[in-house]
Amino acid sequence: MELTRIALGLEYKGTAFCGWQRQAQGYSVQDALEDALLQVAGQTVEVVPAGRTDAGVHASAQVVHFETRVARPLTAWVRGVNSFLPASVAVLWSRRVDAAFHARFSARSRSYRYLLLNRPVRPALNSERCGWYHGELDIERMRQAASLLLGEHDFSAFRAAECQARSPVRLMRHLEVRRQGEYIVFDLTANAFLHHMVRNIVGTLLWVGRDKRPVEWMEELLRSRDRTQAGPTAAAAGLHLRHVEYDPSWGLPLPVDPRYDIGQLD
């Protein structure tokens, strides 16, 4: 049987998982998906993601690919696989793709949203889906600091020590900070992200919003390339992978909901 490459779109709530990637300890999203694919394919299947999310991080538009010699209708890779997945993971769509397609290397950009509840009282209803800060934050100062991160930079100051990326240079295409009701929404798009990069940027912007650091300091921090000088890593619960961009020629569907709203957030 000819080898076929299949692309899948996924959404998942990352709370109960040790992250995307299979690990010696803990149960990962990759484990859950490959276990379910095994049931449908009748053989071991290894999936490759567009990006590896950390423990507790969510996704509304993760993309993966795998190869198989097993002939199954595309619906089997959706409804069939979903019947074996835990409730917190779902396959949204499946497509047959050319052998040249690669979920990671064919991606043009990734977009993340960080949701921060900004009120005196901690969250309950959305406690596993947002970060929280109790004090006052100056949104305008945070916007100004965020604008200094646009463009191509060495983002070593926002890179986790365990990051395995070959280069710390990334192209930040979009970074928006806005308030909506009790939430502060951070939307970021880059060609790729370093390990903990988004959460470290959010934690650092909070320092600026609290007037702990001046706006101009963000440029100094970038130049320093020193992670120890930046702010703390924001909680994983607030981070959502919301879109992976590919060339339209691949024929992949757009995310079902690229906004990945909580309540009335837009």
The set of catalytic residues is 54
d(CA 23, CA 31): 9
